[in-house]
Amino acid sequence: MLLDDIYEIGERITKKQPLSRVLGLKFRTLMQQGNLMPGTQLPPEPEMAEALGVSRMTLRSALNLLEREGTIVRRQGKGTFLTDQPLLPNRLDLNLGVAENIKSMGMKPGVKDIDVKIAPADERLAGQLDVPEKTELIEIDRTRTAGGKPVVVTRDLFPLNILDSGRAKWSLEEFKNTLHKEVSLYKIMEVNLGKIVDYGIARIKPTTADVGLVQRLDVAEGSLLMYVEQIDYDESGTPLLASYEYHVPEVYEFTIYRKR
């Protein structure tokens, strides 16, 4: 029963994790697994609030966010329902991260190669991350795979001092070891470093594959790629992460949910 799943969510909620995010991810996972059908009616708000152990005001705020992103729809006099249409793969209006987007397409995310190093912030990165020039940044260069096929080349950068923000200070080697085990940088930042990405602002444009990208993505030179440049922020508006991504469009489709 759906209410049983909601009770399970209530047991896992943490103060650092927004309720809308927990609910949204759970609903999307259940739909992707086929355990929950689009159009399913959610339990009444009082029952959901009690199952989650939160106030009705808190629940209503979370549901409002889910409605705005298109995960649920409210029908006057009838109740709240999961959207009738299946969730679209790699929706640009949902900031899920590369690994979660690959999972949403029914494929296993992985990493073909990985390079982690410390690099000084140049003028552009310093401006994007709101840090002084030459601030030490961790730079992560990876080829991301979906079902073993290379689909995205990513370069992610964040201030080195973020490694000191978790429960225990991490060395660069400890971070590297964790990154080899957990492909989702968002998850590492949230669970291990206490840094939650609240939203991201992205610039998207077409580009072509140069020699380096040809080798890493196994495409022909000059092939059309989708370039995504994104800055992620915490809930206070502080920049956390700068990302530069090259996507193979034939494999990694982009869609947008547009609501009037």
* 167 CB-near residues (< 8 Å, 6+ apart): 192, 194
User: Where in the chain is CATH 3.40.1410.10?
Assistant: 98-247
User: What are the tens digits of pLDDT across the range 18-52?
Assistant: 777 777 777 777 776 777 787 889 889 898 888 88
Helix, strand or coil for residue 107? Answer: coil
Burial class (CB in 10 A: 0-12, 13-18, 19+), 181: exposed
Q: What is the pLDDT of residues 71-109, one digit of tens each?
A: 788 888 888 888 765 544 555 555 667 777 777 666 788
Burial class of residue 13, CB neighbours in 10 A (0-12, 13-18, 19+): middle
Torsion of CA 170, 174, 176, 178, to 10 degrees: -100
The 3-state DSSP class for residue 240 equals strand
Residues 149-166: tens digit of each pLDDT: 898 999 999 999 999 876
CATH of domain 98-247: 3.40.1410.10
Architecture of domain 2-82: Orthogonal Bundle (1.10)
pTM recorded for the entire structure: 0.65
Q: How far, in Å, CA of 66 to CA of 20, rounded?
A: 6
Could you tell me where in the chain the CATH 1.10.10.10 domains are found?
2-82
